[in-house]
Each structure stands twice: as structure tokens, then as C-alpha cells.
Amino acid sequence: MRGLIWLVAAAFFMQTLDSTIVNTAVPSIAQALAVPPISLKTALTSYVLTLAICIPASAWLSDRFGTRRVFAASVLIFTLGSLACGVSQSLPQLVAARVLQGIGGALLMPIGRYVLVRAFGPKDFVAAMSTAGIPGLLGPVVGPLLGGVLAQYASWRLIFLVNVPVGIVGLWLNRRYMPDFRGERRPFDWAGFALFALASGLLLIAAESAGDGDYRNAAIVAVVGVACGYAYWRYGQHARHPVVDLTLFKVRSLAIAVGGGMCTRLGTAGLSFILMLFLQVGCGWTPTAAGMMIVPQAVAMVLMKFLIDRILKRYGYRHTLFVNTAIATALLACFAWFDATTPWWQIAALMFAYGFVMSLQYTAMNTLAFVDLPPERAAQASSVTSAVQYLVISFGIALSSWLLAVFLGDHHHDPAAYVRGFRAAVLVMAAFSLVAVYVFTRLRHDRPLRRPISTPETAA
């Protein structure tokens, strides 16, 4: 069983590492591919959007083909996608390779959780999941620093190629230790999946087009995307086996958790991306120095994990989320004080405080979604909330990059413009986060934490 835990841990580490390692290398990649740094947003959003679209299919795939085959396929696809990223010669090639990575990465975490539940049972699952989740928590700590070091002292291509040997080891571990669990075979909701994917993809394309200043096409694509979303909303209410079960949103606590999480992540998801541009392009920092500034945030998020259970048990979700969201919004707005002369220790201190608060925020939002659900619907809820979470993260990155582009105007090569644009963008982003404060007041009463916090999903 120890080999199975290490296999799932390696998968979690690859997935979380790749979600953070790219941010610090954005200016270096942009220079190598001869594109403006802000154009690299597409390489970030395409990966996260693919995660959102493909995650709902993970349960059906594992039930139909077995966990051993599907997990091996996901590791292989992720590894091949990483290799393709490492040899990309243009931005379109990099985006296509990131999509391939996302297809593989979307299956790693949900199948890993499912296998541990089946292999260890309810009694030992928490201990197994906690052990497997440790590398997942280390990914956000190691990723930004490793990305900066590789971009500065070696090559940005190694940021992606480092996944190749890990993937090869993962395939070997999968062959030896992965059990072949299967579930009830049921038809796949192809029509619902197509509508959900179209709606998600078209809306992100519209956001990307708006960020490039093509507002006419953005409006047309957005209308079509909204129409597809509405079509799925109507279809999903009557589908027998929906890929995204909309009836879950009739549970008030889940609906508020998702709604508040959407507002929060729209305001916060793109901070790391534009912060790296601010520090490297606006302030002239090296990739390594910029990557170091993400480390205090990640360390604080890990440290807060030891306090979250006690805070939620003492104050409940309503009070905790109301107060903590207000604090998070205020800290996000504080980033607008930074300029090219701000000492590094002030930035590091704010990043630490911000990480401390956001760790509580993410965990509270994600666990709130499950407090009123029966255990038999937890798997469906995990798939739905994960898909929505990654979908909104992709829109959050698109929003922050669009705001920065608007405030930059035609001054893409002016470092001072990046400083001004960053300061203005974070204030607007904080306004989106502020809406979540109101959303969480819609909880009817405070309720204590019922289930232990043990999954790496609670960190994002």
C-alpha cells in the first residue's frame, strides 16, 4: 500500500507543481517566443480551462475502463504534454501542448482520491490522504522558486521537461501498485459534455479576445457561449446521467460556497501572474528573486492548515467567511501600494499575510460545499466543485490580464506602465472579491466543521 500512496503523491505533486512553476518564467518564455509577456496568459488559462472541462469525465472513465488504465493514460498524456511544452517554438504550439497537459492533469487528482478511498476504506483514508497530500502542498512552495531558478540559470524549457522523468517513474509505479477498480457502467453524457465544454471554451475565448482589444468578436463569441451555457442549464435539469449535476445547487450551503468562491477567485486567481510581470518587467527583478516572493505565501498557506480546524469549529462558516473575506479583500488592495522602490521585505511580509488568510479562505469555501450533502453525493459534488473552481480560475487569470492590458494601453515596453497598470488592476480585482463578503452573509446560520480536512483540493 505504501507504493500506492507514493504513486498518488507523485501525481499530486506534478499537478500542483505545474500549476505554479510557469508564472515566474513568463517574461523569459515571452522573450524566447518573441511575444509580449501579457500574451502568455493564454498558456496559463488554456491549461486550467482544460482541467475544468475534463474533470467531470474522470468518474465515468475510471468506471468504464478501470483505474489502472485511466491513471496510466493520464500520466502518459501529462508527460507527453510536458515534453511538447518543452520543445515548443511558438505561442500557439505552447498553448496546444498545455491543453494536452491539462487533459492528463485533469484525471490525476480525482482518480487518485477515488483509489485511496477504495483501497484504504473510511478508517484509514484520512491518514493515507494526508500522507499523499503533503507533496501536493509542497508544489506551490517549490514551483515558483524552481521556475525562477531554471529560467534564470538554465532554460525555461526545463520547467516543463522536469516532468518527464517524474512521469516515467509514475508509469512504473502505476504498473506495480495501482489497483484496477471499476464502478457501475453507465452511459456517458456526450451531449451535456459538449454543451459544457463549448460554453466554457467560448466564454474564455471571448475574455481573451476582449483582452486583446477585439471587443466586437468578443461580444459575438460571448453571446454564443452564454447560449450554450443556457442550453446546458435547461438540458442538465432533465438529463438522466448529467456530466455536471445541477440539482446539487439546490443545496443552499453548496450554492453559496460555489457563488462566494466564484467571486473570490475572480478577484484573486490572476494575482500571481500579474505580480510576476510587475516584479520582473516593472521593477527589473530577476526570475529567481521574483519566485522567492511566492514562497512566503505558500509557506503561510501550509502553516495555516494547522489552525483551520480549530477556527471553523469555534466560529463557524458564516462568521469565519464574512470576516476572513473582508480581510483578504483589504490585503489584496494593499498590493496597490507597491512600486519599483518598495523594499523586498515589505512585499514578502504582505505575501505571507495574504497566504495565511487565503489558506483559510480556500479551505472554508471548499469544505462548506459538503457540510449538508449526504455521503453518497460527495463524489458528484467533488467533481462539480472542482470543475467550477478551475473554470473560474481560468476566468480570473483572463480578467487580471485584461485589466493589466487596459491600463497598459500601448506601453507594453515601458516598465513604469507595468507598475501603474498593476496597481490599478489589483484595486479592481479587490472589488470582485468584496462581492463575496455579501454572498457569505446569505448563510442562514453558523454551523461547525463536521468532517476532517484532508484533501489537497482544499488548498486551491
d(CA 415, CA 162): 31
C-alpha cell at 445: 446560520
Given a cut of 80, is residue 405 above it in pLDDT?
yes
Given a cut of 90, is residue 282 above it in pLDDT?
yes
CA 119 to chain centre: 27
- pLDDT score of 136: 67
- pLDDT score of 184: 73
Query: What's the Cα-to-Cα distance from 233 to each of 206, 252, 383, rounded to whole Å?
Result: 20, 18, 17
Average pLDDT over residues 43-60: 86
Q: Within this chain, do residues 169 and 309 fall inside the same structural domain, yes or no?
A: no
List the CATH number of the domain containing 404.
1.20.1250.20
With cell 485511466, the residue in question is 70
Residues 6+ positions from 2 with CB-CB distance below 8 Å: none
Q: Within this chain, do residues 78 and 111 fall inside the same structural domain, yes or no?
A: yes
- pLDDT score of 80: 95
Q: Within this chain, do residues 269 and 316 fall inside the same structural domain, yes or no?
A: yes
Counting residues of the chain whose pLDDT is more than 70, the rounded percentage is 92
Q: Within this chain, do residues 182 and 279 fall inside the same structural domain, yes or no?
A: no
114: nearest Cα among 104, 124, 127, 129 = 129
Q: Within this chain, do residues 156 and 231 fall inside the same structural domain, yes or no?
A: no
Given a cut of 90, is residue 442 above it in pLDDT?
no
d(CA 322, CA 324): 6
Half-sphere exposure of 201 (CA within 13 A, CB side): 12
Question: Of all helices (H) and strands (E), which one includes residue 160?
Answer: helix 158-161
Average pLDDT over residues 74-89: 94
Phi/psi at 210 (5° precision): -65, -40
138: nearest Cα among 22, 307, 14 = 14
147: nearest Cα among 282, 273, 335, 304 = 273
Q: Within this chain, do residues 237 and 250 fall inside the same structural domain, yes or no?
A: no
User: 57: which DSSP letter?
Assistant: G
Transcribe 271-318 into DSSP letters: HHHHHHHIIIIIS---HHHHHHTTHHHHHHHHHHHHHHHHHHHHHHHH
Transcribe 188-243 into DSSP letters: --HHHHHHHHHHHHHHHHHHHHHHTT-HHHHHHHHHHHHHHHHHHHHHHTT-SS-S
Q: Would you state the torsion angle of the CA atoms of residues 217, 220, 222, 223, taken in this order, to the nearest 10 degrees?
A: 170
Q: Within this chain, do residues 270 and 375 fall inside the same structural domain, yes or no?
A: yes
CA 30 to chain centre: 22
Residues 6+ positions from 10 with CB-CB distance below 8 Å: 135, 166, 169, 170, 173
Q: Within this chain, do residues 309 and 389 fall inside the same structural domain, yes or no?
A: yes
pLDDT bracket for residue 457 (50, 70, 90) = very low
Q: Which tens digits make up the pLDDT trace of 161-215?
A: 988 998 898 898 888 888 888 877 778 888 988 998 999 889 888 888 877 777 8
Q: Within this chain, do residues 171 and 205 fall inside the same structural domain, yes or no?
A: no
Q: Which tens digits make up the pLDDT trace of 23-39?
A: 888 889 999 999 988 88
Encode 421-457: b = buried (16+ Cβ within 10 Å), e = exposed.
bbbbbbebbbebbbbbbebbeebeeeeebeeebbbbb
d(CA 13, CA 139): 6
The answer to whether 257 touches 381, Cβ cutoff 8 Å, is no
Q: Which domain holds residue 223?
A: 189-242
The pTM score is 0.85
- pLDDT score of 345: 95
Q: Which tens digits make up the pLDDT trace of 336-369?
A: 999 999 999 999 999 999 999 998 998 888 888 8
Transcribe 336-401 into DSSP letters: GG--TT--HHHHHHHHHHHHHHHHHHHHHHHHHTTTTS-GGGHHHHHHHHHHHHHHHHHHHHHHHH
d(CA 160, CA 338): 31
Q: Within this chain, do residues 171 and 199 fall inside the same structural domain, yes or no?
A: no
Q: Within this chain, do residues 173 and 303 fall inside the same structural domain, yes or no?
A: no
Q: Within this chain, do residues 232 and 252 fall inside the same structural domain, yes or no?
A: no
d(CA 419, CA 16): 29
Q: Which of 61-65, 194-198, 323-327, 426-430 has the lowest mean pLDDT?
A: 61-65
- pLDDT score of 227: 95
Percent of residues in the chain assigned helix, strand, coil, to nearest 5: 80, 0, 20
Given a cut of 90, is residue 60 above it in pLDDT?
no
Last residue of a domain, one of 211, 242, 273: 242
Q: How many domains does the chain have?
A: 3
